[in-house]
């Protein structure tokens, strides 16, 4: 009630309380007999020379004038209230453990051991990690597949409805919105279905910060009526890496969420990360529509130019079908590469090694150039030119190339049960038919090919081997080279 009453008078979005408090603190010249031990940088001159005096000078510990992230009562609470208003949420929590901790806090808030949660299988590893921690049981809704692009799409309404009908005791439905490629589900419909069945709706909105501030973009989680949403401010919102927001709607108890966050998150919250959230929220609240209008225009231009090269397919809203691709994030520059005979990861490597262009990721058949507020037209021109040259110099026959990113899993037991079960290590090629007890994924994007509790099939082994041969960064397994894999004993 307190937050809602305050919001009637509208908060001053030009404020940045944490930043302002740190500025005031800097002027006070307080003598530090607390942590961190570098003592405003004096104790570690190499670090200070690298990061700068201004940066290390505000790398400080919680103290009364600066509030405490675990139990905010002053400037951090003000920053949270401002963020809640800017994102149209009932409450916003500053997260300094990345959107991973935000996603895990969402799931641990609504799930306990043995609870069922409905979710797509192409979730980020952080979602399944949370199931390992709390013991909830996943009810997977396999996403639709685009046969040409080989990518998983959004959740189909009919499939969500079937899962809800078959699992009426499930406590929540979780939605990826948007996916890494920019695909959006019919979020409003899924929220309404979940609520009609007495379930919560959680949204992994890691790649959708700009939905809250741009015009003509897909609906945001809070606008769709979702109960909780995890928002990666550091991805498209401009804050420092590892900073994020957890947003909640009016029917979630903020005090309990805070308790869950405090189970998951550090007690030594970084003021560099928190102030970056504070300043970036202010920037978006004041200038967001203008910023993302430019991003949309740049993405549209790049999409047109790349498609004119030939061989590539920079896909967009033409994929929309009213269901599994209900909407599309037009700021995402997702590009299909297989028609020039190169896997996405091969184009990724050539761009970096030969052209000094670092894109977000490359996988079996696609690349993603992540566009946001810091991009300029001249860099886009350089990307387009490089892609044209790569086609001329490296194009080959696409025959024999793997096309599908998503391999449907065979779930044998819960992630928690499998992760903590007795296990043995086998050579990867000898593991077919066994039950996996660890993760295997390409990072980025960090969506598991295998998760604990899933059967290792011939298709999955072929996918892993192909991804390794093409140069994908395989992570998650105990063996860093993925020559061996842990399976149930």
> What pLDDT does residue 1 have?
36
Using 50, 70 and 90 to split pLDDT, how confident is the model at 106?
very high
Please check the confidence at residue 8 and state whether its pLDDT lies above 50. Answer: no
For 118-174, how does the pLDDT look when each residue is reduced to its tens digit (9 = 90+)? 999 889 999 999 999 999 999 999 888 898 998 999 999 999 999 999 999 999 999
Terminal C-alpha separation, the chain: 53
In this predicted structure, the answer to whether residue 6 has a pLDDT above a threshold of 70 is: no
pLDDT of residue 337: 97
Q: In the chain, what are the domains?
A: 2-13+69-282 (3.40.640.10), 286-394 (3.90.1150.10), 415-488 (3.90.100.10)
Please check the confidence at residue 272 and state whether its pLDDT lies above 50: yes
Q: What's the sign of the alpha-carbon dihedral 54, 60, 64, 69?
A: positive
- Tell me the mean pLDDT in the region 223-236: 97
Name the E strands within 38-104.
Answer: 91-95
CA dist list (Å): 269 to 65, 70, 71, 192: 15, 8, 11, 36
Instruction: Tell me what the pLDDT averaged over the chain comes to.
Output: 94
Q: What is the structure's pLDDT at 25?
A: 93
pLDDT score, position 9: 56
Q: How far apart are CA 122 and CA 249, in angstroms?
A: 25
pLDDT mean over 299-319: 98
The residue count for the chain: 489
193 band by pLDDT with thresholds 50, 70 and 90: very high
Would the pLDDT of 203 be above 60?
yes
423 pLDDT higher than 90: yes
Q: Is the pLDDT of residue 479 over 90?
A: yes
Q: Over 70: is that where the pLDDT of 2 sits? A: no
Helix ranges, 330-446 (H): 344-355, 377-394, 415-420
Q: Return d(Cα 9, Cα 4) in angstroms, integer.
A: 9
Model pLDDT for residues 385-411, shown as the tens digit of each residue? 999 999 999 999 988 887 777 788 899
pTM for the predicted model, two decimal places: 0.94
Q: pLDDT at residue 435 above 60?
A: yes
Q: Other CB atoms closer than 10 Å to residue 184's CB: what's the count? A: 24
């Amino acid at each position: 009630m307190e937050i809602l009453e305050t919001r009637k008078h509208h908060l001053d979005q030009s404020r940045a309380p944490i930043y302002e408090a740190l500025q005031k603190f800097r002027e006070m010249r307080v003598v530090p007999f607390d942590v961190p031990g570098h003592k405003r940088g004096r104790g570690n001159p190499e670090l200070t020379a690298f990061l700068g005096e201004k940066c290390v000078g505000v790398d400080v510990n919680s103290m009364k004038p600066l509030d405490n992230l675990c139990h905010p009562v002053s400037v951090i609470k003000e920053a949270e209230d401002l963020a809640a208003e800017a994102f149209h949420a009932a409450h916003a929590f500053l997260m300094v453990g990345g959107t991973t901790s935000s996603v895990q806090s969402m799931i641990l808030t609504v799930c306990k051991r043995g609870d069922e949660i409905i979710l797509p299988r192409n979730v980020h590893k952080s979602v399944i990690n949370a199931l390992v921690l709390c013991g909830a049981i996943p009810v997977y809704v396999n996403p639709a597949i685009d046969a040409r692009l080989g990518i998983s799409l959004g959740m189909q309404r009919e499939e969500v409805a079937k899962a809800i009908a078959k699992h009426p005791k499930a406590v929540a439905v979780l939605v990826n919105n948007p996916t890494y490629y920019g695909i959006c589900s019919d979020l409003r419909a899924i929220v309404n279905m979940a609520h009609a069945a007495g379930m919560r709706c959680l949204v992994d909105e890691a790649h959708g910060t700009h939905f809250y501030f741009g015009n003509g973009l897909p609906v945001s989680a809070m606008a769709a009526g979702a109960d909780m949403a995890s928002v990666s401010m550091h991805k498209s919102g401009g804050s420092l890496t590892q900073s994020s927001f957890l947003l909640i709607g009016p029917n979630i108890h903020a005090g309990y969420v805070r308790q869950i966050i405090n189970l998951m998150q550090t007690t030594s919250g970084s003021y560099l990360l928190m102030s970056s959230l504070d300043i970036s929220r202010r920037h978006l609240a004041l200038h967001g529509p203008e910023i993302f209008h430019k991003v949309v225009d740049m993405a549209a231009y790049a999409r047109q130019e790349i498609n004119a090269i030939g061989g590539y397919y920079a896909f967009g809203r033409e994929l929309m079908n009213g269901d599994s691709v209900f909407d599309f994030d037009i700021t995402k520059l997702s590009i299909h590469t297989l028609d020039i005979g190169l896997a996405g990861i091969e184009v990724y490597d050539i761009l970096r090694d030969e052209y000094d262009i670092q894109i977000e990721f490359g996988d079996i058949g696609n690349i993603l150039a992540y566009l946001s507020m810091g991009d300029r037209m001249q860099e886009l021109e350089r990307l387009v030119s490089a892609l044209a040259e790569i086609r001329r110099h490296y194009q080959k026959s696409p025959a024999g190339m793997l096309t599908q990113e998503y391999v449907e899993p065979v779930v044998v037991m819960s992630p928690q049960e499998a992760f903590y079960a007795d296990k043995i290590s086998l050579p990867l090629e000898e593991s077919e038919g066994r039950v996996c007890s660890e993760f295997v994924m390409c990072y980025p994007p960090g969506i598991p090919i295998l998760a604990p509790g899933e059967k290792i099939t011939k298709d999955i082994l072929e996918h892993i081997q192909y991804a390794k041969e093409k140069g994908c960064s395989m992570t998650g397994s105990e063996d860093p080279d993925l020559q061996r894999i842990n399976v149930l004993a």
